[in-house]
Structure 1
């Protein structure tokens, strides 16, 4: 069985306009979780945010308490105790589709790892053949750090260019570029605030 871990930090997305920041973050999270559920994966949301917990509960997603300490610690908590293929997907990818998860999981099901870097060199998604491959390496240039780590383990790595997983949303310009390609929750919200 494939498990997807999605970390969500309360108070994130500080580069979005303050008046829509919380609503956009929750809409994107809902779109990500819905795609994961539609894919048929077990899904774990790691968060300390009450509103995010409600979104997850409405979709039947398992909740894991965020231990604090940043994204790496959150993902490690979400991966704890898992067997089999694990995917890690950021919560700010509103264009995600179930087919993107199929592509991300392909290499891990064959014993390799996969990574989808963001345009700025950080990491938007990981595919792991098992949870022990993970190391908490998030931050600037994390994609290069994850690549080096996986290669040092002797695990083959696929560097994936999946447009829907590369298109993270950090700013108002990112939202505009998303256009009509976002998930239904994010699209609906943007029609209200436009």
Structure 2
């Protein structure tokens, strides 16, 4: 597809994020999660197929040039927050394509996001994470309900809801970080400047 997307990037409460990063304390996890998100947002903002990046969060500090912050209206439910944000976007521009991307992608390369956003041969499509069970990106064409099902076993649930899995080679878009092993793989792959700076502080 050649449409440009309104890209939603949800960032949940940082103090409760990434509890499976067992090698880090709470303060470090907050700093790392913020850095992951900033690097993912920076890569997304460079995409030729992204019209706007909208960060869905109640956390401060994500205001940046070219990025709009939308309130988290999900009352703790990520999918509800994304549904409400998608409604806001579609009310402003009914014909736009909408996508939702995870924030924990510190290795994201813009070229991989471009490939995934243009891979859609169906009304809705998604990118599974490296494990094959989670979802890092969900996209919907103009006028199509985003219908997010993020959470445990989301790849299966997105497929069951009618979304088609992207088979393209987009490794950096599949490398979400939940565990220490994930973080080690991300570092080996290469991370963005915000994540690198945080990791350097803790060497």
The DSSP-based 3-state class of the residue aligned with 1:114 is strand
> Does the CA contact (< 8 Å) of 2:98 and 2:140 recur in 1?
yes
Measure the CA separation in 2 of the matches of 1:132 and 1:69: 25
Residues 58-90 of structure 1, C-alpha deviations (whole Å, 9 max, x = no match): 233111100123210121122113232222110
What TM-score do the two structures reach when normalised by structure 1? 0.86
Unaligned 5+ runs, structure 1: 152-156
Measure the CA separation in 1 of the matches of 2:200 and 2:193: 11
> Does the CA contact (< 8 Å) of 1:79 and 1:131 recur in 2?
no
| TM-aligned CA deviation for residue 4 of structure 1 | 0.6
> Does the CA contact (< 8 Å) of 1:46 and 1:77 recur in 2?
no
The DSSP-based 3-state class of the residue aligned with 2:197 is helix
- Tell me whether 1:36 sits opposite 2:48 in the alignment: no
> Does the CA contact (< 8 Å) of 2:124 and 2:140 recur in 1?
yes
Number of aligned residue pairs: 184
Aligned twin of 1:45 = 55
| TM-aligned CA deviation for residue 112 of structure 1 | 3.8
Residues 111-153 of structure 1, C-alpha deviations (whole Å, 9 max, x = no match): 54321112161211112113633223222211111111126xx
Aligned twin of 2:86 = 79
Measure the CA separation in 2 of the matches of 1:69 and 1:23: 21
Measure the CA separation in 1 of the matches of 2:39 and 2:179: 18
Residues 142-193 of structure 1, C-alpha deviations (whole Å, 9 max, x = no match): 1111111126xxxxx2433521111111122221121251111111211111
- Tell me whether 1:186 sits opposite 2:191 in the alignment: no
Aligned twin of 2:125 = 114
Aligned twin of 1:166 = 174
Aligned twin of 1:12 = 17
| TM-aligned CA deviation for residue 15 of structure 1 | 1.5
Point out the more displaced range, 21-30 or 58-67: 58-67
| TM-aligned CA deviation for residue 33 of structure 1 | 0.8
What TM-score do the two structures reach when normalised by structure 2? 0.82
Measure the CA separation in 1 of the matches of 2:132 and 2:159: 15
Give the aligned CA root-mean-square deviation in angstroms. Answer: 1.9
Higher share in helix: 1
Aligned twin of 1:95 = 107
The DSSP-based 3-state class of the residue aligned with 2:162 is helix
